[in-house]
């Protein structure tokens, strides 16, 4: 990553002083309808065939004698597919046409390495020599060059390092885990020093100008929180993902501005005893999705879009340890009020596998392209598909 991109992605100076470089995420004066995109990463390689399950498939039960679920346990999805029984919220949202299931998503010449495949998803490309800029960062940078800067706020709410998808963004990214991170953590003298520092003259659009503006905005946001109680919403479950969704709700309700928020659920690398771990993960995912969609009613809080993805699917045949190994194509979920809803990318095609894996038929860049346009109104030329066709996720207006 270039030095300039690192500075712009992390707002290092603001963070060094204990400030949150979140832009105008508190007390914004804008009255425009809010739009937010929530990214939910299922780290480890989610087994799509346990989440979106083919019905009336003797082949599935032959290849998965201990993992395949009986049809009568599945929740309504389509004539040919059913949701895992732990996903009632997703089944309900699909019925309301607020959820799209996209099958066979991936890229050509699949790579089964967790790290490299996730880098491909984060960068929006499959060239190992071009992994220094994120798909989202480039889209936001290109938009800023065409239309000028905006008040979009970016948040990294998961454990672990800053994801590559933000790299190259002209907007600072706030990394936080707890509502208390929104408040100023420095001494009074530090605050005075910061006020003096941000008042210094500097060259416009330079790295130091970007960092000082980020610091000034973060300081102002922190001061607006003085004396206020910051709490998470008790309507959310208390597992790790529920807490992330509660934080999403807090940030969304505190500001009418546009936002992109990155979240993550770990534990999907289910090589063994899959039925003892994945059902709980899917239940956590489903609860959190249902709770955040209910909390952020689009009539009150603007448009909310959620993109749920993983770095790859898993092999169709279960292994000797009653788990599944790294695969290729997988399923993506998109939630939002602008969707036409339904199943895209076809049903799970078990008769046309790629070396024992679901064959990628939908370019993951197509998903990014349509989700960015539908959620934030951004058309990203670099995310146009290299194979397959458009999905048409958005309903006709």
Model confidence at 9: pLDDT above 50: no
CA proximity to 63, closest of 327, 350, 274, 321: 350
Q: Which residues pair with 394 in a beta bridge?
A: 339
Mean pLDDT of the chain: 85
Domains of the chain, each with CATH number or no CATH: 34-182+237-383 (3.40.720.10)
Model confidence at 198: pLDDT above 70: no
CA separation for the pair 380, 143 (Å, rounded):
8
Averaged pLDDT for residues 189-215? 61
For residue 181, what pLDDT band results from cuts at 50, 70 and 90? low
DSSP letter assigned to residue 83: E
Buried b / exposed e along 147-174 (16+ C-beta atoms within 10 A): eeeebbbbbbbbeeebbbbbbbbbbbbb
Residue of higher predicted confidence among 5 and 390:
390
Distances (CA, A) of 45 to 124, 161, 189, 352, 394: 17, 18, 48, 21, 27
CA separation for the pair 104, 152 (Å, rounded):
32
Q: Which of 198-202, 239-243, 293-297 has the highest mean predicted lDDT (pLDDT)?
A: 239-243
Structure confidence at residue 153 (pLDDT): 87
Structure confidence at residue 301 (pLDDT): 74
Structure confidence at residue 203 (pLDDT): 62
Averaged pLDDT for residues 150-179? 88
Mode of pairing for the β-strands spanning 75-76 and 81-83: antiparallel
CA separation for the pair 157, 4 (Å, rounded):
23
Q: Which residues pair with 82 in a beta bridge?
A: 53, 76
| Tens-place pLDDT, residues 221-258 | 555 445 445 555 678 999 999 999 999 998 888 766 89
Query: Which tokens belong to 396?
Result: 């006709």
Spatial neighbors of 227 by CB under 8 A, at least 6 apart, are none
Averaged pLDDT for residues 69-88? 97
Q: What is the distance between the terminal CA atoms of the chain, rounded to a whole angstrom?
A: 40
Query: Which tokens belong to 272?
Result: 């063994």
- In the chain, DSSP assigns E strands to 35-42, 52-54, 75-76, 81-83, 99-106, 153-156, 173-175, 259-265, 303-310, 330-335, 342-344, 362-363
Structure confidence at residue 13 (pLDDT): 40
Averaged pLDDT for residues 390-395? 94
CA separation for the pair 158, 301 (Å, rounded):
23
Burial of 263 (0-12, 13-18, 19+ CB in 10 A): buried
Structure confidence at residue 252 (pLDDT): 86
| Tens-place pLDDT, residues 336-363 | 999 999 999 999 999 999 999 999 999 9
Spatial neighbors of 24 by CB under 8 A, at least 6 apart, are 30, 151, 153, 217, 220, 221, 255, 257
Model confidence at 293: pLDDT above 70: yes
Model confidence at 138: pLDDT above 80: yes
For residue 47, what pLDDT band results from cuts at 50, 70 and 90? very high
* Element housing 42 (H / E): strand 35-42
Mode of pairing for the β-strands spanning 81-83 and 153-156: unpaired
Structure confidence at residue 172 (pLDDT): 83
């Amino acid at each position: 990553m270039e030095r300039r991109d690192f500075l712009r992605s992390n707002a290092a100076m603001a963070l060094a002083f204990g400030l949150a470089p979140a832009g105008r995420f508190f007390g914004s004066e804008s009255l425009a309808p809010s739009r937010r995109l929530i990214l939910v990463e299922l780290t480890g390689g989610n087994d799509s065939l346990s989440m979106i399950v083919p019905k009336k498939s003797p082949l599935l039960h032959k290849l998965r004698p201990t993992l395949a679920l009986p049809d009568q346990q599945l929740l309504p999805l389509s004539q040919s597919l059913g949701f895992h029984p732990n996903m009632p919220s997703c089944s309900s949202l699909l019925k309301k046409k607020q959820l799209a299931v996209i099958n066979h998503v991936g890229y050509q010449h699949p790579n089964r390495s967790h790290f490299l495949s996730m880098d491909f998803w984060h960068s929006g490309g499959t060239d190992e020599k071009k992994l220094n800029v994120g798909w989202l960062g480039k889209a936001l940078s290109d938009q800023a060059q065409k239309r000028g800067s905006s008040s979009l706020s970016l948040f990294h709410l998961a454990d672990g390092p800053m994801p590559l998808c933000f790299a190259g963004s002209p907007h600072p990214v706030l990394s936080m885990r707890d509502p208390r991170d929104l408040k100023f953590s420095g001494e009074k003298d530090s605050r005075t020093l910061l006020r003096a520092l941000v008042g210094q003259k500097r060259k416009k659009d330079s790295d130091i100008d970007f960092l000082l503006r980020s610091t000034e905005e973060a300081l102002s946001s922190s001061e607006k929180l003085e004396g206020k109680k910051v709490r998470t919403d008790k309507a959310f479950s208390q597992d790790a993902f529920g807490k992330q969704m509660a934080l999403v709700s807090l940030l969304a309700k505190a500001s009418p501005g546009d936002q992109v928020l990155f979240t993550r659920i770990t534990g999907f690398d289910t090589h063994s005893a899959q039925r003892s771990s994945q059902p709980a993960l899917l239940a956590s995912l489903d609860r959190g999705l249902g709770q955040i969609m209910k909390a952020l009613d689009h009539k009150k809080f603007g448009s909310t879009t959620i993109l749920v993805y993983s770095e790859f699917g898993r092999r169709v045949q279960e292994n000797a340890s009653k788990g599944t190994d790294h695969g290729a194509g997988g399923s993506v979920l998109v939630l939002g009020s602008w969707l036409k809803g339904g199943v895209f990318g076809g049903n799970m095609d078990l008769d046309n596998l790629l070396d024992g894996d679901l064959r990628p038929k939908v370019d993951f860049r197509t998903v990014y392209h349509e989700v960015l346009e539908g959620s934030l109104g951004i058309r990203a030329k670099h995310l146009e598909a290299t194979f397959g066709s458009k999905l048409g996720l958005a309903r006709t207006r």
